[in-house]
Amino acid sequence: MSIFDKRLKGVRAPHCKNTMDCATQKMPVPDKVFICMSQHMGPPCDVLVKPGDEVKVGQVIGDSAAFLSAPVHSSVSGKVTGIEEIIMPNGTRTKTVVIETDKQQTYHESVKKPQVTDRASFLAAVRNAGLVGLGGAGFPTHIKFNPRNLNEVDTLIINGAECEPYITSDYRTMMERGEDVMMGIQAVMKYLDIPNCIIAIEENKPKGIARMQELAKGLPGVKVQPLPSRYPQGAEKVLIYETTGRVVPEGKLPADVNCIVSNITTIAHLALYLKEGIPLITKCVTVDGGAIAKPQNVEALIGTPIKDVIDFCGGYAKEPRKLLMGGPMMGTALYDDTYPILKNNNAILAFDESLAETQPETPCIRCGRCVRSCPVKLMPLRMEEAFLKDDYQGLQEYKVNLCIECGCCSYVCPAKRQLVQTNRLAKARLRKWMQEQNAKEGGKK
């Protein structure tokens, strides 16, 4: 039996798309930027500059020989004043290059239109652009575009669902950079030899759907598919099922069901690199929440302190009680606003006390709402029980690794159980336990 129902489960979270019609405003160059070496899945980059070095826009300042990585570029011209170590929102430590800007924005000599003639040079260009998944996951794009079974991939899915409440930065990409989206799509289809493309957009964005449909006219194999407005429509596995009917098995990737999924803003940035050679150095972020004076969409240089972005939006209208990088369902809470903008950062949300208060947990009442809402038909209450008992076989039996961490279970729970947080911890503990078991088995041989 499929892990999906015929009808998407999930939840009807309020859209709160307050900034949908707010055209993106470009921020001025900040006095300093703080560019992290960990802005993608996989190991962080090695720092390639040192204090005192002069750098220019688009210059590679971090890279790694690791398979799962993407280079990091300077978003400004100026002088490197320090190499600091910071604790990232997810708790890991990473090195950060601090650059005092000269406000000139002088481009590095390496910034030039790439010569792309075949699949190999295209994939090299994607890597050189520093592209990662800009919907939040940060998976290196050149790795995603080069699966082992690429010749079997028949469908490119462009993720324009943007199902998280508040966030509208991808929508602004559709409205403001639609031509770039189409150029990026055509390049991927051409060089990866993918015959079909589906641009998936939630139906609560009728103007975005209409614009993409108009631009897609006459493009062979490209179609726009409106989707029901129900969270988590934009989750990769959900999106693949909703658009193609295919189910990604546990432990497998989209390419295993002959699909590649890419965020719509990632595709637009790819087009910019192919046209002008400008790598990923800016990011459009939605700045919203009850504590923000002037909610809007902002184009900020990567490495800009979040405080500078909020100041650009009029500062705080109320005392912020919770600051999020990303959306309210899957975003990461920040300790303060000194963190810099990252490649995969699509929103900054600041909530006042009215929305930030956390309700105390009470005992589970076995109502089953978490099970009914789970888009991949898991049993969060059973996984919580197994976690609390250190029952690792139980966690495997209940398929905790299939959890997409969408937060639907926690959202609907009347007892306010922190189920998605528990699943995240359970995955980490299960990985460690499995590693220990494998080591024991290896020691017996």
- The full set of domain ranges for the chain reads 29-111, 119-276, 282-357, 369-444
Residue 77 sits at the vertex; the CA angle it makes with 265 and 123, to the nearest 5 degrees, is: 40
Phi, psi for residue 24 in degrees, rounded to 5: -65, 130
Convert the pLDDT of each residue in 413-431 to its tens digit: 999 999 999 999 999 999 9
pLDDT of 6 above 50: no
User: How confident is the model at residue 4, as a pLDDT?
Assistant: 40
Confidence of residue 445 (pLDDT cuts 50, 70, 90): low
**Beta strands 155-159; 259-263: pairing state:** parallel
Does 3.30.1490.100 match the CATH number of domain 282-357?
no
* 8 Å CB contact between 387 and 349: no
User: How confident is the model at residue 324, as a pLDDT?
Assistant: 95
How far is the CA of 121 from the CAs of 114, 143, 192, 274, in angstroms? Answer: 9, 14, 11, 11
For domain 29-111, the CATH class is: mainly beta
pLDDT of 102 above 90: yes
pLDDT of 357 above 50: yes
223-239: average pLDDT = 93
Distance, CA of 33 to CA of 302 (rounded, Å): 8
Average pLDDT, the chain: 92
User: How confident is the model at residue 1, as a pLDDT?
Assistant: 30
More confident residue, 73 or 331: 73
Name the pTM for this structure. Answer: 0.91
Distance spanning both ends of the chain, measured CA to CA? 38
User: How confident is the model at residue 3, as a pLDDT?
Assistant: 40
SS3 per-residue string spanning 11-53? ECCCCCCCCCCCCCEECCCCCEEEEECCCCCCCCCEECCCCCC
Give the CATH number of domain 119-276; options: 3.40.190.10, 1.10.1740.110, 3.20.20.70, 3.40.50.11540. Answer: 3.40.50.11540
* 8 Å CB contact between 176 and 212: no
Convert the pLDDT of each residue in 135-167 to its tens digit: 767 889 999 999 999 999 999 999 999 999 999
Instruction: Indicate if 282-357 has the same CATH topology as 119-276.
Output: no
User: How confident is the model at residue 133, as a pLDDT?
Assistant: 86
In 114-177, which ranges are continuous DSSP H helix?
A: 119-128, 141-144, 169-176
119-128 helix and 178-192 helix, angle to the nearest 10 degrees: 140
pLDDT of 353 above 70: yes
Q: What percent of the chain has pLDDT over 90?
A: 83
Convert the pLDDT of each residue in 193-219 to its tens digit: 999 999 999 999 999 999 999 999 989
Distance, CA of 401 to CA of 396 (rounded, Å): 8
pLDDT of 314 above 90: yes
Distance, CA of 62 to CA of 71 (rounded, Å): 6
Confidence of residue 440 (pLDDT cuts 50, 70, 90): confident
Q: What percent of the chain has pLDDT over 70?
A: 97
Confidence of residue 444 (pLDDT cuts 50, 70, 90): low
- Kindly report which listed range (174-188, 351-365, 366-380) carries the lowest average pLDDT score: 351-365
Convert the pLDDT of each residue in 244-266 to its tens digit: 999 998 888 999 999 999 999 99
Single-letter amino acid code for the residue at 68: L
Phi, psi for residue 33 in degrees, rounded to 5: -125, 155
